[in-house]
Amino acid sequence: MYALRFGEEPPQRRSVEQLRGIEGARVRETYKRIAAKYGVEWKARNYDTSEWDKGDLPNRCLSAATACLYGVTEAAVLAAGYAPAIGFIHTGKPLSFVYDVADVYKFETVVPLAFRIAARRPANPEQQVRLACRDIFRETRLLERIIPGIEDMLAAGEIEPPEAFEEQVGPAIPNPENIGDAGHRA
């Protein structure tokens, strides 16, 4: 996951806690760099879900964007048959594995998008973020990439994908041929 996320192998002979610390420092620096690129004043990643409106605009945009990413990632994790709670980097939360997987894609998709929207200071930033997430997920074909990405991540740890059960049956109502429009179901 480290290599996929940062494009380089993790430092050798480090504990998971040490890697988390290195990752945290890199993430904080990346937020600063992307905020500066879009001319957004950035203090720190700080938000309180119980007092949403008290958060600053960049943090509200980031929270809305990551919520969208987590939703798409959770759908892929569940569709592939993996347990969302069994994470490697994140632990102890119902969506730990979802957070692990989403982090691989976060800085190529939703973080730049959130800062770009925050820079424009729109009247309804959360709505603008959700619409932009929908578009970038479609443009980058993110949902199609997540499941193979999960398999690559697990293969790096020499974990085989689960085999289908012999007793497994197909869907009771098969999906008909779709009409070719990405925005519509078949």
What's the mean pLDDT in 13-37? 85
CA distance 137 to 16: 30
- Say how many Å lie between the first and final Cα of the chain, rounded: 34
Q: What is the pLDDT of residue 4?
A: 64
Full domain range(s) for residue 82: 2-8+31-42+51-156
Report the CATH number at residue 133.
1.20.120.920
**Residue pLDDT, tens place only, 67-121:** 999 999 999 999 988 999 998 878 899 999 999 999 999 999 999 999 999 999 9
**Residue pLDDT, tens place only, 33-63:** 999 999 999 998 887 777 877 789 999 999 9
The DSSP 8-state label assigned to residue 172 in this structure reads: S
Q: What is the pLDDT of residue 183?
A: 55
In a domain, 99, yes or no: yes
17 band by pLDDT with thresholds 50, 70 and 90: confident
In a domain, 171, yes or no: no
As for how many domains the chain has, the answer is: 1
Flag whether pLDDT at 19 surpasses 60. yes
Counting every residue written for the chain, the total comes to 186
Query: Which amino acid, 134?
Result: R
Those residues with Cβ within 8 angstroms of residue 20's Cβ, 6 or more apart along the chain or in another chain: 89
